[in-house]
Amino acid sequence: MDVLKEGASGKAVRRLQRALGKAGHATAVDGDFGPSTKRAVKAFQAAKGLAADGVVGPATWAALGVRAQASAGGGGAGKLRLSPKGAAFIGHFEGFRGEMYNDPVGHATIGYGHLVHHGPINGSEPAEFKRGISRERALELLVQDANSAATAISSGVRVKLTQFQADALISFAYNVGNGAFGDSTLLKLLNQGDYDSVPAQLNRWTKASGRTLPGLVTRRKAEGALFREGRYMG
C-alpha cells in the first residue's frame, strides 16, 4: 500500500477518503489529498493512538482496515509487496525503538531493526533519526527493508499466493535471509503445490547457533497460522 501525504492524488487517495468516511472522519472523495483530508487523517490517527502527523503509512492503513490486494500471477506468485497488516505482524516480533541504538553487533539502528549505517552511532546520522521516529515512520522503513524479501518470494515462488500467505513468507524470509529461503525444502514443497506442508516446514527454523530459541518458536507458529488461516497473530 502506498504511503500518502498532503499533495498526493489518484485512486489510492480516493480509497483513503472512503475509508476515512466509514471510520467517521468524512472528507470529500475527490482523489486529492488536500488540507481537509489531512485534518481527517490526523483526527483519525489521534483517535487510534497513532502519531498524528497526517502521513498515511502502514499503521494508518491497517487501523483503517484497508487490506492490500491479493497477488495473482500468471501461474506464479506475481509481484508481491508486504501489506500493512504484514508490516505490523513483523514489527511485533522485531520490536520497536524510537531512538537510535547500536545493535548487538555494533551497527547504528532504529525503529524495527532498520540499519542506519554500519558501525556505531557517531553523529553523522540523518537529522530525522537523531530526533527519533514514530512507530508509523518505523513501519514505513520496515516495509522498505522488506522489499528484498518480497522480491525473493516473487522470484522463487511459482504457485499463486493470497496476500496473507505472502505476508507469512515475507516475514520468514526477512528473518532467516533470502538465501536460506531460496534453498529451503519449504520452497521446494510449496512449488510442488504442497501448501499444507508450509507450517510444519516453518517450524523447523527455530534454532540459532544450534540452540532452540523460544522467540523463534513463537514466531514460526504465528507465521504458520498466518499462512494457513490468515490469522495476523502477534
The gap from C-alpha 151 to its chain's centroid, in whole angstroms, comes to 13
| Each residue's pLDDT tens digit, 32-87 | 999 999 999 999 988 988 888 888 887 788 888 875 444 433 345 567 889 989 99
User: Can 94 be counted among the known catalytic residues?
Assistant: yes
**φ/ψ (deg, to 5) at 212:** -75, 125
Q: Supply the pTM of this predicted model.
A: 0.64
**Structural contact between residues 11 and 31, judged by C-beta atoms closer than 8 angstroms:** yes
Q: Looking at residue 76, what is its pLDDT?
A: 59
Please name the fold of domain 146-229.
Answer: Lysozyme (1.10.530)
- Tell me which residue of 105, 63, 61 sits closest to 83, measured CA to CA: 61
Q: Do 11-64 and 146-229 fold alike per CATH?
A: no
* Average confidence score pLDDT of the chain: 89
CATH number of 11-64: 1.10.101.10
Q: What are the extents of the domains in the chain?
A: 11-64, 90-145, 146-229
| Catalytic, out of 6, 94, 125, 229 | 94
| Each residue's pLDDT tens digit, 91-143 | 999 999 999 999 888 999 999 989 999 999 999 999 999 999 999 999 989 98
Is residue 2 over pLDDT 90?
no
